Amino acid sequence: MKKTALALAGLLGATTVATAEELETTHLFGFTLGTDVNAIGEREAESETTGRFGKRGGSYTALAQAFGVKFIPFQDFSIEPGVGLAYHNIVGVSGLDDRRRGAFDTVWLEIRYRLLNREHAPFGLTLGADPHWGRVDDVSGEPVDRLGADLLVILDKELLSERMFGAVNLVYQPEGSRSRDTRTWERHSTLGISSALNVQLQPLLLVGAEARYLRAYDGLGLTSLSGHALFVGPTFYWRFSKCCWTAAAWSTQVAGRSVHDAGSLDLANFERHQAKLRFGYNF
């Protein structure tokens, strides 16, 4: 009996160790990203659906669907090309034309380089750059030609061994777009900080919470503030097999203000609710 108990304890311990090795923090935190980079030679197919819901008055839904394949050519570096689709359903929203339309939208490239590995340093640190070209305006759904990039500083840390993980992101998103109807250019940018905390309830299943503060600017600089918003919400991550995982997040705007709107929230530059759903397959 004693030998059986020792064998069972050893098996459980081995399972815990394997679980810790299988966890990757990249998509553990919802909208907030983690610093981990896959192993050299590994490939990962990813599907990401982003939903944005609710403006001042009327009905507003904007969906973006992205598909990409990630490659790891050398240690601590990943590159992921991808394409995206967009769908807008807008009815009776002030300042926006009614629109119900889906279209091919984006070609993008995700680049990550990890400077510090959290397993060997006090925290993980990864830099990211995601340039993109698109055909649809994010907010209005209007046909445009747009160029932009997401520039990221990503930090994370394992706060309790195999149990609790935290992350902080800094992001700057400059973008310029030209209307295909009027041929006029508009330039804008977003500066944001986010933080997230996840707890592992059972092997490879984590739940947590996330807060994001975003500031929108007219122009590519950070001198002409257009509005700001604070989002909070829950996150979920489940690695349901050795090669497959899913992650989800829901954020609600709880505070904010637009320079051009007297309402209590910034529903001109942002939405009332934002959601994200991801699936990944490692091969």
- Tens-place pLDDT, residues 4-16: 444 434 433 434 4
Residue 157 is which amino acid? K
According to the model, what pLDDT value does residue 21 have? 55
Q: Are 113 and 126 spatial neighbours (Cβ–Cβ below 8 Å)?
A: yes
Which residues have CB under 8 Å from 18's CB, separation 6+? Answer: none
Residue 7 belongs to what H/E stretch? helix 2-22
Lowest mean pLDDT among 17-26, 107-116, 170-179, 254-263: 17-26
Domains along the chain with CATH numbers: 2-282 (2.40.160.40)
Residue with the larger pLDDT of the pair 162 and 272: 272
Q: Estimate the share of the chain in helix, then strand, then coil, as percent rounded to the nearest 5.
A: 5, 65, 30
Which residue did the predictor score with more confidence, 283 or 277? 277
Q: What local confidence, expressed as pLDDT, does residue 66 receive?
A: 98
The residue that leads in pLDDT, 245 or 261, is 245
Q: Please name the helix (run of DSSP H) or strand (run of DSSP E) that holds residue 17, with its range, or none.
A: helix 2-22
CA distance 31 to 235: 9
What does the block give as tokens for 39?
């192993």
This prediction has a pTM of: 0.90
What pLDDT, in 10s, does the model give residues 64-90?
A: 999 999 999 999 999 999 999 999 999
Q: Quick one: pLDDT at residue 118?
A: 93
What integer is the mean pLDDT of 206-235?
A: 96
| H or E segment to which residue 106 belongs | strand 99-116
Instruction: Give 11's contacts (C-beta < 8 A, 6+ positions apart).
Output: none
pLDDT at 262: 79
Q: What is the pLDDT of residues 115-135, one digit of tens each?
A: 999 999 999 999 999 999 999
CA dist 157 → 104, 192, 202, 236, 264 (Å): 37, 20, 19, 18, 35
Provide CB contacts within 8 A for 151, sequence distance 6+.
128, 129, 130, 171, 172, 173, 174
User: Band of the pLDDT at 103, cuts 50, 70, 90?
Assistant: very high
Taking 50 as the threshold, does the pLDDT of residue 3 lie above it? no
